[in-house]
Amino acid sequence: MRPQRLSEFIGQQHVLGEGKLLRRMIDAGRLGSIILSGPPGTGKTTLAHLLAIETGSELRTLSAVSSGVKDVREVLAWATDTIASGGSRPLLFIDEIHRFSKSQQDALLPDVEAGVVALIGATTSNPYFAVNGALLSRSQLFQLEALKPEDIRQLLMRAVGDHDRGLGEQQIKVQDDAIDYLASASEGDARRALSALEVAVLSCQPDSAGVTREIAIETLGSRMGGYDGSGDDHYDLASALIKSMRGSDVDASLYWLARMLEGGEDIRFLCRRLVILASEDIGNADPQALGIAVSAMQACEFIGLPECQLTLSQTVAYLALAPKSNAATAAIGKARQDVRENEIVPVPKHLRDSHYEGAAKLGHGEGYQYSHNSEDGVAAQEYLGVDRTYYQPVDRGFESELRQRIDKIKKRLNGS
């Protein structure tokens, strides 16, 4: 079902639409080196073959999984000979280029820069992390997006009706709700949807009811939430979870949690992030949040999956709905910046350690007032020696009470 012409390619109009850069490069027949990044099943490999067809270029393909520097050099030597014999510049497609090591990617640089080949690199990872900066700077980057359900539906309908390259000759009816399910549940992955459709069709008898929604569900299999626990998805979904809790959207928070759980995320990683958020984004606006997050971490360690998902759900909901404050986070940041950038403040003598013999001779501890001997538990004395304000609680949750306490304490310390 791979398209034979660019006009048959479905989706990605943000890079292939009329007037877009990649489309202009194709129409002009002058294709430079490019990097195609995007989720699985979005057409990167198909597009590479179409680029060769549309520009009339010879295409050589390597897989970074099974190829090494020797394979790269052989292709580059062939490309050099092709140009030397009067041929046009060939295209070199490297699938999963992010799997190449730095030295393997470096081997491409001289010939890419010299124009011996036009590189087409495909990656499902963030190219700014996975592709050498030098190689990336010599290439145009195009980000392909997960296909929309309507795009995948169009692909599936074409496959069902195509008697030459598709499944039409099987004469198996595919019900509309089965198509709709595959289109929506394949998570933008056309390859996954088409593979599931093929298996479903081939598993049905001609005299049966055909491919029903139930068969489509069974064939597509369990969903992993579009999740790669070791790749970009790990960080993107963790970021979405944290930002949703910070933004107090409890339903979004629970959705991102579910995505990570379905993808097999490490429970310890999730728990650490919840503990950090409790201090970073809630702080003293709800002091119980930290205790709840720590208790959740201990509970998850004790009971494990699947039951600990209940603990995580409870904790995420609580943290999402708790009043928010980053006052403690900002305070330690300002204090440490002060320590790094400004003159170091000496410890006032009356606050210095005075428990050892000879401390009194140095004046250490002299004049210190024990706070518990004060009627209100606050001893009016210098504790820093310079005027600084780091902790500024917000007027939300428990911190609104702390603001009142600070005002009262500062008046006492200032002797007013």
The neighbour count for residue 254, using CB atoms within 10 Å, is 18
Give dist(CA 269, CA 266) in Å, integer.
5
Predicted confidence at residue 227, as pLDDT, reads 57
Domain covering 6-143 in this structure, CATH number: 3.40.50.300
Dump pLDDT digits (tens) for 38-72: 988 999 999 999 999 999 999 999 999 888 888 98
Give 319 or 355, the one with higher predicted confidence: 319
Given a cut of 60, is residue 223 above it in pLDDT? no
The third-level CATH classification (topology) of the domain covering 232-321 is Zinc Finger, Delta Prime; domain 3 (1.20.272)
The class of domain 149-220 in CATH terms is mainly alpha
**The whole model's pTM is what?**
0.65
Of 38, 227, 220, the C-alpha closest to 146 is: 38
Mean pLDDT value of segment 67-95: 91
Domain spans of the chain, in order of start: 6-143, 149-220, 232-321, 327-413
- What's the whole-number mean pLDDT along residues 126-137? 89
B/e letters for 78-117, b = 16+ CB within 10 Å, e = fewer, are: bbeebbeeeeebbbbbbbbbbbbeeebbebbeebbeeebb
- Largest alpha-carbon pair distance within the chain? 104
What confidence tens digit (pLDDT) does each residue in 8-39 have?
999 999 999 999 999 999 999 889 999 999 98
Quick check: 317 pLDDT over 90?
A: yes
How large a percentage of the chain has pLDDT more than 90? 63
114-139 average pLDDT score: 91
pLDDT of residue 351: 85
Beta-ladder partners of 62? 94
Mean of per-residue pLDDT scores for the chain: 90
Does CATH number 3.40.50.1860 belong to domain 327-413?
A: no
Query: Given this model, what pLDDT does residue 63 score?
Result: 92
Residue pLDDT, tens place only, 353-404? 888 888 888 889 888 889 998 888 988 888 898 889 999 999 999 999 999 9
Which pairing describes strands 59-63 and 140-143: parallel, antiparallel, or unpaired?
unpaired
Count of helix runs (H) and strand runs (E) in the chain: 19, 5
Residue type for position 129? F
Buried-state track 298-337, b at ≥16 Cβ within 10 A, e below 16:
ebbeeeeeeebeebbbebbbbbbebbbbbbbeebeeeeee
The region of weakest confidence among 92-101, 214-223, 347-356 is 214-223
Tokens 């708790």 belong to 322
Over residues 181-203, the mean pLDDT reads: 92
Q: What is the pLDDT of residue 229?
A: 58
As given in the structure block, the two tokens for residue 321 are 């709905």
In this prediction, residue 217 carries a pLDDT of: 92
Question: Helices marked H in 37-88 — which ranges?
Answer: 44-55, 69-84
